[in-house]
A and B are shown apart, each in its own frame.
Chain A
């Protein structure tokens, strides 16, 4: 089974990279862009056919390794 995880900074955490991308897009003429936040994307393949079990593992590895709970949130998607 394939699982993807999207990691984003929490709303109250400053994201200077996102800000720079936002500003650059505006400079390029995309004046309708209002905000950009930069994050990370993981694709995880695991040997598990049970969806619930796979989800449980994915949540665990996100919390234990992939994210820093102080500053980041995540979402997982099964494929």
Chain B
């Protein structure tokens, strides 16, 4: 499997994801945002960070950069596209995924490990998980409060396009296990064809026992299955 990680000024998880991809033998190339063509890739990753200093809105300026047209083409042809944290914010700004990511409800940057429930394991990113699995990933964001109109949320629920929801260590999904105020505790969503996944938590920072969780490994193993 071949991958490309798009690097923007202000990306800071690009190397973390590169290390993770390398660990699972995915042949990766870093691609600067100013390029227009993508190298041949099965998977494109938009990494976490603070692209363009979060100017205007998080992910907004990055979503207008030169490479994005090729990224959208890649996704529309069925190529895999993963947006983590700021990458999720960029996916939202490109309209590849619906909704918006607002500032965390309590207006604080949150950096901690959280528990997630896998709510859709029937997609290539999550094949290795079982539905309702409880996993632990770190989050580190200021704008992760997922918001969309009621009909969009209903559509995500009805069509089973929510991949992960915030929960507690027993799997309870409620206001107390919701770190940032996201509608329906949403932590990650898929597009209609399930080839685009955007999530706020960081699977690439949960691939080694030294990093306090290895639950992210399963996502990368799923991709190379």
Residues of A participating in the B interface, judged by any CB pair closer than 8 Å: 13-14, 16-17, 20, 65-66, 68, 70-71
**Do B107 and A68 have beta carbons less than 8 Å apart?**
no
* Distance from A15 Cβ to chain B, minimum over Cβ atoms (Å): 9
Within 8 A of A (CB), among B8-32: none
**Do B106 and A68 have beta carbons less than 8 Å apart?**
no
Within 8 Å of chain A (Cβ to Cβ): is B93?
Answer: yes
* Distance from A62 Cβ to chain B, minimum over Cβ atoms (Å): 12
Q: Which of B64, B100, B105, B107 contacts A70 (CB 8 A)?
A: B100
Q: Which residues on the A side are within 8 Å of B210 (C-beta)?
A: none
Chain B interface mostly helix, strand, loop or mixed? loop
* Distance from B122 Cβ to chain A, minimum over Cβ atoms (Å): 27
Q: Which residues on the B side are within 8 Å of A14 (C-beta)?
A: 102, 105, 147, 181
**Do B57 and A16 have beta carbons less than 8 Å apart?**
no
Within 8 A of A (CB), among B72-123: 93, 98-100, 102-103, 105-107
Q: Which residue of A lies closest to B98 (CB)?
A: A70
B131-155: CB near A (< 8 Å → 1, else 0) gives: 0000000000000000111000000
Q: Which residues on the A side are within 8 Å of B148 (C-beta)?
A: 70
Q: Which residues on the B side are within 8 Å of A20 (C-beta)?
A: 107
CA distance A71 to B145 in the complex (A): 12
CA distance A17 to B107 in the complex (A): 8
**Do A16 and B105 have beta carbons less than 8 Å apart?**
yes
Q: A65-B56, A71-B100, A71-B102 are in contact. Are A16 and B147 (CB under 8 A)?
A: no
Q: Which residues on the A side are within 8 Å of B106 (C-beta)?
A: 16
CA distance A16 to B93 in the complex (A): 21
Q: Which of B57, B100, B103, B149 contacts A17 (CB 8 A)?
A: B103
Q: Which residues on the A side are within 8 Å of B46 (C-beta)?
A: none
Within 8 Å of chain A (Cβ to Cβ): is B60?
Answer: yes
Q: A68-B93, A68-B100, A70-B100 are in contact. Are A13 and B147 (CB under 8 A)?
A: yes
* Distance from A64 Cβ to chain B, minimum over Cβ atoms (Å): 9
**Do A68 and B57 have beta carbons less than 8 Å apart?**
yes
* Distance from A4 Cβ to chain B, minimum over Cβ atoms (Å): 16
* Distance from A16 Cβ to chain B, minimum over Cβ atoms (Å): 5
